[in-house]
Structure 1
Amino acid sequence: MNDVSLIAENARLKAQLAEIEAALAESREAQERLEKMVRQLQREKFAARSEKLSPDQFHLPLEELAIAEGMLAVAREKAEAALKGKTPGPEKPLRKRNRGHLPPHLPRIERVIEPKSTLCPCGCGEMTKIGEDISERLDIVPAQLRVLVTRRPRYACRHCSGTMAQAHAPEHVVPGGLPTEALIAQVIVSKFGDHLPLYRQADIYKRQGIQLDRGTLGNWVGRAAFHLKPVIEHMRQHLRSADRIFVDETRAPVLEPGNGATRSGYFWAVVSDDRGHAGTGPPIVVFHYAPGRGELHARTFLENYRGRYLQSDGYGVYGKLAEIDRPEGRWQLVHCWTHVRRRFVKRFESDASPIAEEMLRQIALLYRIEASVRGQAPEIRLAARRAHAAAIIEKLKPWLEAQLSKVSAKSQLATDIAYTLGLWTGLTRFLEDGRLELDTNPVENLIRPIALTRKNALFAGNDVGAENWAMLASLVATCKLNGVNPFNYIHQTLRVILDGHPRNQIEQLMPWTCDQASSLAA
């Protein structure tokens, strides 16, 4: 090898080394950024109460962590490719997480990437296709607005004066207005299902050249709510006949008319969900708005409920409701083991309490028994509970009473034990009926999105707005519970109602009568 070749080879090696060092440095930097974010996230979750993120904010740093992980993955791939002396490319992807799992209803746009030449380099002629590699990636076409032009020709007889024929104009949600029922359904689902306030939606439409202020969007939603109100009232009638309901509440800031300040209203969620014991009743959630959290408000919206069991947390108002005489008999309270567990989790994390640790172990045994009969018939669930859970419950109460006598009466652990014993009748009622659950998770999971909407929208404009908010959120959430695409449901239901669907056949318009595939649920 001559000097020129050696110089060229040396330059090539130096360039390759520089490339490898740069790729490794980039990978190390990405790794350090990721580690820093993880440490920060740990501090925010496990630090003192005053420094923690609220549950509603916690998903934000998790999203940023996922973005950082993606950046690190690319940096590593480039570093590995540089070390192997290859250019990073897609010919052998390391992950195929979504392959074979993309829904079949999505349209497929195929493209074929042929090699530059299919001639054999040995001079044998054209090569023969012996197979192919196929990959599927999820693509998107941004939401496309279009204009529907409706023509209604008029016909007249040339021989008879005054005779004319023309199709009647279909009724619309906004007479003579711009939106179709599909557009209004999109606005409703975006606000009440995806927690996107109207002013943000207006900004999205503005980017496509459509000037719509949030007042206009709000007017459309209000008109749709008027037409959908009979559907939601019928849902409420179904819920009132349920033998067991879950109830929970959350704060809803409402604008005080006249002074621009906010005051606290409350959304109360009432849920019927029998899927845990293979019940045939449809899952339903109805949100109620009330300007306060007191007993009077709960009595008002629960007045016509005919159920026997009311499953809730330990909030005192529910205890007062159970003292009211009703034609159906007094409410039987069923309390929540999840709320109890949270208290002892805090004690174990803060104090490393062995009493809290043992309590958590016993609660875990109860949930293990529940998991083994989840979704089975009530009699099977009840038999398993009496065979296994009853013995745990029987020993747990005297054990808690003994521990309470040993710890300081002023300690938080004593407060937690007393709280648990105070709810003991409601906590153990699941041993009486296989339809009952150990916790209020079915309603808690549905009321959390209200908090997210509250963060995004800040407050409802007034009490009437909050009531409409509760009504439409009920419809969207019930669609999701039943595996129904809320956009398709609201779009189609509005059209059917406008076309004159008989009020006495409203049952046909319930979300659970919709036959859409659950894979399409938004």
Structure 2
Amino acid sequence: MDLDRSELEAILERAKTALSEEEYAKLHAAMETLIFLTQELEKKRVSVQRLKQLLFGATTETTRKVMDRILDEAGKESKSGDDSAEGKETETREKAKGHGRNSAEEYVGAEKVRVPHESLKPGDACPNCQKGTVYESVEPGHLVRIRGQAPLGATVYELQNLRCNLCGTIFTAQAPPGVGPDKYNAESASMIALLKYGSGLPFNRLERLEGSLGIPLPATTQWEIMQHSADRIEPVFEEMIRQAAQGQVLHHDDTKMKILALTGPSGESTGSDPTEVSDRTGVFTSGIVSILDGYQIALFFTGHRHAGENLAAVLKQRASELGRPIQMCDALSRNMPDELKTLVANCLTHGRRRFVEVATNFPDECLYVLETLKDVYKNDAMAKSQGMSPEQRLQFHQTQSGPKMDELKAWLTAQIEERKVEPNSGLGEAIAYMLKHWNELTLFLRQPGAPLDNNVCERALKKAILHRKNAYFYKTENGARVGDLFMSLIHTCELNGVNPFDYLTELHKHANELSAHPADWMPWNYRDTLQRDAILLPNS
């Protein structure tokens, strides 16, 4: 049966009057899924594995898991003496980082309470041996207790009113010191931003949560707080964009997004920005992660532009005396606008993933490729753990990874030239992709600091994807602007090991100062600015 989108939409629109809003949304989502799957099935390269990933999500792509999947689908059992992709099966695998108990040092946001001994102090005689004296050990004992609390709290001040029995004048008590004129303080704005844009909690869910805790917080009020806060701290975001343009390496990618104001009733674009492509209807959130002198800056931009176009706009602020940066992205043509002047590196993970997707059909060939790339990644992890400089890392890769990649290229070429692989098969297309983009995929063998993959940007885009899954859309372009700003600030903090709640709070408290010198209020130096101001304030 041929599926015509306009015909299906017309049927759905006629049925809308008989359905509730929730029922209509479910039926519309089912229709979109059917159309999408039909389009995927019509593609030449579609596979059962690809469809499973689209429907149920991708699982881990480690070489060991791929091997296990191949054995499972082939109905085999792995033998204890065989070498797996991650080492021998008989070897004890190290427990993954992050499992187990957290030490007391991990609770950096916890309140610290010093508890002295109830009966002894340093210098007292030892009550056990009666001969020695006790002294304070280097490390105290630790006792961690976790308490629950609402995301936002409130205090109601009941100001006493006194009325004169003759003239009727009312005398109201003054508010206690430190209360301040604002109903919502800096901490409340920071918490709403973290819940909404850092954790993907929609305004209406937070409204229900706080309402159940006895703190009314309407969704419209939350939005007004976010909009006001974004306007005040926007100079910091603009400074982040300027600094990101100076980066040595810039990763970028995008994901689909929806802005209701940019979509008409029948799906056509209604954007009015003259800089946008007039016939483009898609809306995307672009993620850019810039590496600058050891710091990582995350930027998000939502609109009709693709990631490459947003990167080009950012690089317009790059200092003219700087050389060409390294641009890490996948090999899509939309990532490469003509105006970009960069050293292009393509994501090795994208090339590797093509072999993962067809590994069950071509196990021997794909495992050879995966094993080779596993060694390259192992070399890169070793260079990182040893703290090598970009130049040392380049030399290390040229020595250790270069020969392996040369062998892999020769093997890939032989598969095509000697007609060992059907060019139109899944394996043939995976090999063709690697060979076509070989220079960009192996820039790490020629350029200091060139990364292997674009994983850091793909992880950053999970912020936008989480928002899309929970809130579904932005209502207006201004709403997208606010979301991009807070996601950029929050994820930049996370990338640099900075507490985003503390950072946003200080920005809100010092909005007037940061507008004059935004460069002093980056996540990695705002603490120094606060300390400097604290020293200067008593002297002024």
**CA separation of 1:182 and 1:391: change in aligned 2, threshold 3 A:** same
For the pair 1:145 / 2:153, whether they are aligned, the reply is yes
Alpha-carbon distance between aligned partners in 2 of 1:508 and 1:515, rounded to the nearest angstrom: 9
Alignment of 1:24-423 (within 5 A): 48-52=49-53, 97-98=101-102, 103=107, 106-107=110-111, 136=143, 138-143=145-150, 145-147=153-155, 178-256=183-261, 264-273=282-291, 280-293=293-306, 299-305=312-318, 307-318=324-335, 320-321=336-337, 323-324=338-339, 330-348=341-359, 350-374=360-384, 375-405=387-417, 406-423=420-437
Cα distance, 1:108 vs structure 2: 7.1
**Residue-by-residue CA offset, 1:202-235 (whole Å, 9 max, x unaligned):** 1121112222221111011000000110000001
SS at match of 2:206: helix
Cα distance, 1:299 vs structure 2: 4.0
For the pair 1:501 / 2:509, whether they are aligned, the reply is no
* Structure 2 unaligned spans of 5+: 1-46, 61-98, 116-127, 129-140, 160-173, 268-280, 529-540
SS at match of 1:501: helix
**CA separation of 1:171 and 1:426: change in aligned 2, threshold 3 A:** farther
Instruction: Report the residue type matching 1:371 in the other structure.
Output: A
Alpha-carbon distance between aligned partners in 1 of 2:100 and 2:288, rounded to the nearest angstrom: 42
SS at match of 1:272: strand
**Residue-by-residue CA offset, 1:162-187 (whole Å, 9 max, x unaligned):** xxxx99x9998xxx652111111110
Cα distance, 1:332 vs structure 2: 1.6
SS at match of 1:439: coil
Cα distance, 1:101 vs structure 2: 5.7
For the pair 1:440 / 2:448, whether they are aligned, the reply is no
SS at match of 1:242: coil
Alpha-carbon distance between aligned partners in 1 of 2:477 and 2:282, rounded to the nearest angstrom: 11
Q: Which residue of 1 aligns with 2:66?
A: none
Instruction: Report the residue type matching 2:507 in the other structure.
Output: T
Instruction: Report the residue type matching 1:142 in the other structure.
Output: Q
SS at match of 1:355: helix
Instruction: Report the residue type matching 1:314 in the other structure.
Output: A
**CA separation of 1:361 and 1:454: change in aligned 2, threshold 3 A:** same
Q: Is the 8 A contact 1:484 1:514 kept in 2?
A: no
Q: Is the 8 A contact 2:248 2:291 kept in 1?
A: no
Q: Is the 8 A contact 1:250 1:266 kept in 2?
A: yes
* Structure 1 unaligned spans of 5+: 1-45, 60-94, 112-127, 129-133, 152-165, 275-279, 517-522
User: With structure 1 as the length reference, what TM-score do the two structures score?
Assistant: 0.66
Cα distance, 1:103 vs structure 2: 2.8
Q: Is the 8 A contact 1:446 1:477 kept in 2?
A: yes
SS at match of 1:459: coil
SS at match of 1:397: helix
Alpha-carbon distance between aligned partners in 1 of 2:234 and 2:413, rounded to the nearest angstrom: 51
Alpha-carbon distance between aligned partners in 2 of 1:426 and 1:104, rounded to the nearest angstrom: 41
**CA separation of 1:513 and 1:251: change in aligned 2, threshold 3 A:** same
**CA separation of 1:378 and 1:296: change in aligned 2, threshold 3 A:** closer
Alpha-carbon distance between aligned partners in 2 of 1:109 and 1:502, rounded to the nearest angstrom: 33
**Residue-by-residue CA offset, 1:344-378 (whole Å, 9 max, x unaligned):** 11111x31432111111111111111111114211
Q: Is the 8 A contact 1:231 1:510 kept in 2?
A: yes
**Residue-by-residue CA offset, 1:119-155 (whole Å, 9 max, x unaligned):** xxxxxxxxx9xxxxx994542132261328699xxxx
* Structure with the higher fraction of residues in helix conformation: 1
Cα distance, 1:257 vs structure 2: 6.3
Cα distance, 1:487 vs structure 2: 1.1
Alpha-carbon distance between aligned partners in 2 of 1:258 and 1:247, rounded to the nearest angstrom: 25
**Residue-by-residue CA offset, 1:22-75 (whole Å, 9 max, x unaligned):** xxxxxxxxxxxxxxxxxxxxxxxx98554557677989xxxxxxxxxxxxxxxx
TM-align CA RMSD: 3.6
SS at match of 2:231: helix
Q: Is the 8 A contact 2:245 2:318 kept in 1?
A: yes
**CA separation of 1:216 and 1:105: change in aligned 2, threshold 3 A:** closer
Cα distance, 1:281 vs structure 2: 3.8
Q: Which residue of 2 aligns with 1:155?
A: none
**Residue-by-residue CA offset, 1:61-105 (whole Å, 9 max, x unaligned):** xxxxxxxxxxxxxxxxxxxxxxxxxxxxxxxxxx98346566376
Alpha-carbon distance between aligned partners in 2 of 1:362 and 1:218, rounded to the nearest angstrom: 50
Instruction: Report the residue type matching 2:405 in the other structure.
Output: I
SS at match of 1:271: strand
Cα distance, 1:467 vs structure 2: 2.0
Larger mean CA deviation between 50-59 and 506-515 belongs to: 50-59
Alpha-carbon distance between aligned partners in 1 of 2:50 and 2:188, rounded to the nearest angstrom: 44
Cα distance, 1:398 vs structure 2: 2.2
Report how many residues are paired.
383
Alpha-carbon distance between aligned partners in 1 of 2:56 and 2:105, rounded to the nearest angstrom: 31
Cα distance, 1:507 vs structure 2: 1.7
Cα distance, 1:508 vs structure 2: 1.6
Alpha-carbon distance between aligned partners in 1 of 2:471 and 2:107, rounded to the nearest angstrom: 33
Alpha-carbon distance between aligned partners in 2 of 1:418 and 1:221, rounded to the nearest angstrom: 48
Alpha-carbon distance between aligned partners in 2 of 1:467 and 1:377, rounded to the nearest angstrom: 37
Alpha-carbon distance between aligned partners in 2 of 1:190 and 1:234, rounded to the nearest angstrom: 24
**Residue-by-residue CA offset, 1:177-201 (whole Å, 9 max, x unaligned):** 5211111111011111111111111
Cα distance, 1:296 vs structure 2: 5.3
SS at match of 2:286: strand
**Residue-by-residue CA offset, 1:414-472 (whole Å, 9 max, x unaligned):** 11111111111111111122211111112111112211111011111122211221111
- Larger Rg: 1 or 2? 1
For the pair 1:489 / 2:490, whether they are aligned, the reply is no
Cα distance, 1:109 vs structure 2: 8.5
Alpha-carbon distance between aligned partners in 2 of 1:514 and 1:379, rounded to the nearest angstrom: 31
Q: Is the 8 A contact 2:348 2:453 kept in 1?
A: yes
**CA separation of 1:47 and 1:135: change in aligned 2, threshold 3 A:** farther
SS at match of 2:253: strand
Q: Is the 8 A contact 1:479 1:485 kept in 2?
A: yes
